[in-house]
Amino acid sequence: MITAWANDTDYANIFSEQLLNLANSKDVVIAISTSGNSKNIVRALEVARELKIITIGFTGKFGGKLKNLVDYCIFIPDDHIGRQEDGHIILDHVIAHTLQWMIANEGSNLGDKT
């Protein structure tokens, strides 16, 4: 899908077009960009805002445009892009593990609000 949208429209639309076609206001979008200025990420966040989707940003030291387009921003305050990316990978693993745990425990009293 990414290469199709890039080919048919513009690389800046590779994520925003997916959001326009697949997302709804109950979703959460996590945007990852060390500079915070990647055009495809910025455009996706603009669309997410239009769709009233909760947004989280993982970015580098300064956050670029991303920091002002997300509801929650996590900065990796390091000058080295590799270490910024390592921080993002750790966060990705924590989220994936937590979601796996939540799905595995669905139906148990762990998630009950009663």
21-72 residue pLDDT tens: 999 999 999 999 999 999 999 999 999 999 999 999 999 999 999 999 999 9
Q: Domain range holding 48?
A: 2-104
CATH number of domain containing 29: 3.40.50.10490
Please report the pLDDT score of residue 65 as a whole number: 97
Query: Phi-psi region for residue 36, left (φ > 0), alpha (ψ -120 to 50) or beta?
Result: left
At 95, the pLDDT band (50, 70, 90 cuts) reads very high
- Cβ(56)–Cβ(70) under 8 Å? yes
| Domain assignment present for 36 | yes
Reported as a pLDDT band with limits 50, 70 and 90, residue 8 is confident
Within-domain flag for 99: yes
| Interatomic CA distance for residues 76 and 111, integer angstroms | 31
Q: Is residue 97 part of a domain?
A: yes
pLDDT of residue 50: 96
pLDDT on residue 57 = 97
Residue 114 maps to a domain: no
Domain presence at residue 111: no
Query: How buried is residue 61: exposed, middle or buried, by Cβ count under 10 Å (0-12/13-18/19+)?
Result: middle
Is position 62 within any domain? yes
Total domain count, the chain: 1
pLDDT of residue 66: 97
Q: Is residue 41 part of a domain?
A: yes
What average pLDDT does this structure show over 71-90? 97
Q: Within a domain: residue 84? A: yes
